[in-house]
Structure 1
Amino acid sequence: MGLKSAYLFLYNAVLCGAWGYVLFLTYKTTQAGGGLQDVWQAAEAPLKVAQTAAVMEVLHSAVGLVRSPVMITATQVASRLFILWGVVVLAPQPKAAPVELLTLPLGGGVRLQLSLVTLLTAWCCSEVIRYSFFAFKELGMQPYVLLWLRYTAFILLYPLGVASELAMVALALPHIRAARPLSIQMPNPLNIGFDYYWACWVAVLLYLPGFPQLYFYMIAQRRKVLRSGRSSSSSKLKHQ
């Protein structure tokens, strides 16, 4: 293993472990009867480290360590950082309240709740799969189960993650509208105004074209990759 592969393996392995730890803390807290505030207190520090460390992926792409497009990588990382630092950290409501989305046909008025727990579940599961996939790739290994999960789990995790992210924004907007954090009021020496409340609305509107485009792109990639993965596995078995 060369220095480049060793570094990328270490980076992906550490981040896989970090996201796994966040997931463990999330469900350890909920199983112990903790509420959303307790979940946040338990997972806050490792979550901030794990998500912010993704900035390195933009650098990896920019310097050619990986083949991912710089702008796509930067956009994906920025959207996650916006939700974490610009919404969840900034406002109290996302850390304390759920959003009831709809009544499920299970009887007893069961309702689907989007909350910090569903957000962390979607983020952690997708990242554990992604980082473990890339860690094994640097070892020259491609377990089919990881390949399948990499290109299948998103079918549920991506909509759950996006819905949870939008729920976090919806919960935070009343506070942001009242407190106007990160805003620049006029007049000022630079003669520049900025309203973070409306910036959040712009970010939400960008989800509308972005989600279906990326989701159906991933569906197409799934067909292509899994088809070639099955062919590769069959070829290896024939030569054993």
Structure 2
Amino acid sequence: MGSDKGKKGAYSDGVTNYLIAYNGIQTVGWSYLLYQIIAYYLTASATVTLYETVKTTVMIFQNAAILEVFHAQMGIVKSNPAITAFQVASRVMVVCGVLMATLSARSTVGLPLALVAWSITEVIRYGMYTLQLINWIPYVVTWLRYSTFVILYPIGVTGELLCIYAAQQEIGAKQQWSITMPNSFNVIFNYQHFLWFIMFLYIPLFPQMYMHMVHQRKKVLGPHKKSQ
């Protein structure tokens, strides 16, 4: 997660300013990515793919989310480190371990599904955190943060899985990023099998993550919250 602020005054000014800057930059970055996606489909060129259009932006701002794991681990934000680590790792895996590695993952419908879901979610999420840190957050922003996941989360996960599935087929055919015997380290690693394992993890973990957001929604958007 990003920066769910606790009690007022819980952070030093330095940490608060850092979190405002981090979340503000991420809001701008993901907004730009969403703009790139929209512009691509409005002015699509046969010579430039969606991946080529957004690869630098998504690489920078998705990998920047790794900092959130450290934020949670150090306790400067009120987020569960394990949940944060899985959420970040799954996307970084798709960006660096799937899209960078294969051509097939870049051409599947999973790519626009994932990118659209990610970018809308992150614009809202980081925008809310930024406003929360400056103590000015309209209710509609909070409502969007804890409501849009109902549709966007399944869309994003579907896109991720489609990208991974397309990638594992290509990787299996090429034996890409795999280690076979014999070798000096006497180890075997099959990257295709690793991707199968990653896909399998979505089965138990996605429902848990989704229900976590459902519980958060009930907690934050309870009947008495709006009047506050």
- Is 1:177 matched with 2:188? no
For residues 139 and 47 of structure 2, what CA distance do their matches in structure 1 show? 36
Distance verdict in 2 for CA 1:21–1:120, change over 3 Å: same
Who is 2:151 aligned against? 156
Distance verdict in 2 for CA 1:217–1:64, change over 3 Å: closer
Distance verdict in 2 for CA 1:44–1:71, change over 3 Å: same
- Is 1:54 matched with 2:65? yes
1:19, 1:124 within 8 Å by CA — same for their partners in 2? yes
Who is 1:2 aligned against? 13
- What one-letter code is carried by the residue in structure 1 that aligns with 2:35? F
1:31-70 → structure 2 map (5 Å cutoff): 31-34=42-45, 38-70=49-81
Give 3-state SS (helix, strand or coil) of 2:131's partner: helix
- Is 1:231 matched with 2:217? no
Tell me by how many angstroms 1:178 deviates. 1.3
- Is 1:24 matched with 2:19? no
- What one-letter code is carried by the residue in structure 2 that aligns with 1:146? V
For residues 36 and 153 of structure 1, what CA distance do their matches in structure 2 show? 34
For residues 153 and 108 of structure 2, what CA distance do their matches in structure 1 show? 21
Identity of aligned residues (%): 35
Flag structure 1 segments of 5+ consecutive residues without an equivalent: 99-114, 236-240
Deviations 1:60-105 (A, max 9, x none): 112221121222211211111111111111110121233xxxxxxx
2:172, 2:192 within 8 Å by CA — same for their partners in 1? yes
Deviates more, 1:21-30 or 1:59-68: 59-68
Tell me by how many angstroms 1:34 deviates. 3.5
Distance verdict in 2 for CA 1:124–1:138, change over 3 Å: same
For residues 75 and 225 of structure 1, what CA distance do their matches in structure 2 show? 22
Who is 1:209 aligned against? 204
For residues 216 and 35 of structure 1, what CA distance do their matches in structure 2 show? 41
- What one-letter code is carried by the residue in structure 2 that aligns with 1:9? I
TM-score normalised per structure 2: 0.90
Aligned pairs, number:
217
- What one-letter code is carried by the residue in structure 1 that aligns with 2:212? Y
For residues 75 and 7 of structure 1, what CA distance do their matches in structure 2 show? 23
1:36, 1:95 within 8 Å by CA — same for their partners in 2? no
TM-score normalised per structure 1: 0.85
For residues 37 and 178 of structure 1, what CA distance do their matches in structure 2 show? 26
Q: CA RMSD in A?
A: 1.7
Deviations 1:85-126 (A, max 9, x none): 11111110121233xxxxxxxxxxxxxxxx321111001011
For residues 141 and 35 of structure 1, what CA distance do their matches in structure 2 show? 44
Deviates more, 1:87-96 or 1:191-200: 87-96
Deviations 1:121-148 (A, max 9, x none): 0010111111011111110123211110
Tell me by how many angstroms 1:37 deviates. 5.1
Structure 2 residue corresponding to 1:222, chosen from 204, 217, 224: 217
Deviates more, 1:59-68 or 1:123-132: 59-68
1:36, 1:96 within 8 Å by CA — same for their partners in 2? no
Give 3-state SS (helix, strand or coil) of 1:91's partner: coil
